[in-house]
Amino acid sequence: MRLRGAGALVTGVLLLTACGPAPAEPDGAGGTPVRKAAEAPPLLPVPRGKGSDVPDDFNGDGHRDLVLNDLVKQQSHADDAGIGIVYGGGPRGLSPGSRQLISPARQGARTAGQLPAVFDAEAACDLDGDGFTDLVVSTDPPYDGQGQPPVPLQLLFGSPEGLTGRAVKLVIPARARAGKDWPDQPVCGDFDGDGARDLVVHASEQQLSYLRGPFTRKGAPKSAGAPLAAPGNVPVGPAADIDGDGADDLVVRAAESEGPSAVVLGGPAGPARTGVTLPSGVDVALGRFGMGEALDAAVGTPGGTALRYDLPAPTRATLPSPGTLLDTADFDGDGLSELISGGSSLRVFHGRTEGLSAAGPVTVAPPADGTTRVLAAGDFDGDGRDDLAVRTHRGETEDTVAVYPGAGTGLLAREPAVTFSTSGFLPS
């Protein structure tokens, strides 16, 4: 699981540049050129679900869905179209025909009578406990610079039909706020171990606002106390139970740029205890890279990847890697995590009993010419192995999204099972 900062729910930051001539751009059926908006796969109904505990399952049908920020535009420098959702359940996992465009004009909540102009997906979890994943989005509410700024976060609630209806503004009680910073950087997790999903957001000057779930459909938490002291200003997710006490923990970075970070441990009072400090780096990823009982940490640095096995024990190692930005997944379904490293190429290091293997990493070829980012790693086809979703940009108006299935041998399939363009979200 990669730990994401603001503005990066599933829009990853692992970059690579394809070399050589541009290959053909396949679509969701495979093998044919990517179609523009007018030629996109015909729209299909969103499958109706009954609720599930699958991550990122907004319609509750038991299939994981994919969230897309920064959709391609009809022309350069045009306004952001919004957020795209591709629903799962197709024969290869995702179904590009079952797609939905989330826009601030249609689904944003007004602040001081004004609709937001920006909608960016930030975090996803079932905040109201009804079996349908909800989406936390960031917006740009009007602010005159006086006093505390308004809360820029809004909630879209999942349902049997997916993300329907207008968003509601997240309620952060006055007692849970501090200073005059924007309350942002939302991270979902069960930080008190009671089974309900909570939210943590940045408050100000090394303080966190802890909002205890479940949340009402009006965006209010069950409770919220005074801000909690933190070792930095940037809480990042996804959260995970690092120490095995039943409550989720999270990593808090000192700043958005390269710097140190520390684990903040959850418990009955929420994320209130600072644990192990991690070395300075550009990115942090948590996973179970070996057979230890606790989670492990990987920190991306310009000189390589610093590893800390069995948190919070002090055992350390270093993995030679040109990538500073990291993600994790279990591509072969053996219960151990692979480390995805992005730099001049996208490489996957195999998790083994003795830890990550530096020998023979798998190199993932980009699906098209351009700059490729990791979107998400998760089990989209329901076979028990994680899959890898990547997106290749060619400027602001062309792209290719591809999903590579996890494999028992070789970690990832050589060819994607699903490909499409986000131009399909644009109006015809």
Q: Which residue has the tokens 């391609």?
A: 72
Q: Which residue has the tokens 């990853």?
A: 12
- Does residue 26 have a pLDDT over 70? no
274-307 pLDDT per residue, tens: 999 998 988 999 999 988 778 899 998 877 888 8
Is 226 strand, coil or helix?
A: coil
Distances (CA, A) of 381 to 23, 110, 403, 411: 25, 37, 10, 15
The rounded Cα 213 to chain-centroid distance in angstroms is 20
CB atoms within 10 A of CB 79: 10
Q: Which residue has the tokens 């700043």?
A: 255
Q: Is residue 227 reached through a cis peptide bond, with omega within 30 degrees of 0 on the bond before it?
A: no
pTM: 0.90
Higher pLDDT, 61 or 35: 61
Amino acid at 268: P
Distances (CA, A) of 252 to 221, 227, 273, 285: 22, 15, 12, 12
Q: Quick one: pLDDT at residue 22?
A: 33
Report the relative pairing of strands 355-356 and 198-202 from DSSP bridges.
Answer: unpaired
Q: How confident is the model at residue 372 (pLDDT cuts 50, 70, 90)?
A: confident
Average pLDDT of span 187-213? 97
Lay out the sheet containing 387-393: strands in order across. Answer: 16-17, 371-378, 387-393, 399-404, 418-420
Distances (CA, A) of 333 to 74, 287, 329, 369, 411: 40, 13, 9, 30, 9
Alpha-carbon radius of gyration of the chain: 21
The rounded Cα 298 to chain-centroid distance in angstroms is 17
Tell me the average pLDDT of the chain.
Answer: 87
152-196 pLDDT per residue, tens: 999 999 999 999 999 999 999 999 999 999 999 999 999 999 999
Buried b (16+ CB within 10 A) or exposed e, 123-159: bbbbbbeebbbbbbbbbebeeeeeebbbbbbbbbbbb
Q: Is 273 exposed, middle or buried (0-12, 13-18, 19+ CB in 10 A)?
A: middle
Average pLDDT of span 236-254? 94
Q: Quick one: pLDDT at residue 312?
A: 72
Q: Which two tokens stand for residue 290?
A: 């070996």
Whether 378 contacts 9, CB under 8 Å: no
Q: Quick one: pLDDT at residue 333?
A: 96
- Does residue 75 have a pLDDT over 80? no
Select from 235, 222, 289 the least CA-distant residue to 261: 235
Alpha-carbon span 391 to 396, nearest angstrom: 13
- Does residue 252 have a pLDDT over 90? yes
- Does residue 2 have a pLDDT over 50? no
Residues facing 261 on adjacent strands: 253, 278
- Does residue 338 have a pLDDT over 70? yes
Q: Which two tokens stand for residue 197?
A: 């999903």
Average pLDDT of span 396-413? 93
Select from 360, 199, 174 the least CA-distant residue to 266: 199
Q: Which two tokens stand for residue 399?
A: 């792209």
Distances (CA, A) of 58 to 98, 114, 148: 12, 27, 32
Average pLDDT of span 245-263? 92
Whether 140 contacts 116, CB under 8 Å: yes
Report the relative pairing of strands 66-68 and 316-319 from DSSP bridges.
Answer: unpaired
Is 328 strand, coil or helix?
A: strand
Alpha-carbon span 332 to 9, nearest angstrom: 24
Whether 25 contacts 391, CB under 8 Å: no
Average pLDDT of span 55-84? 89
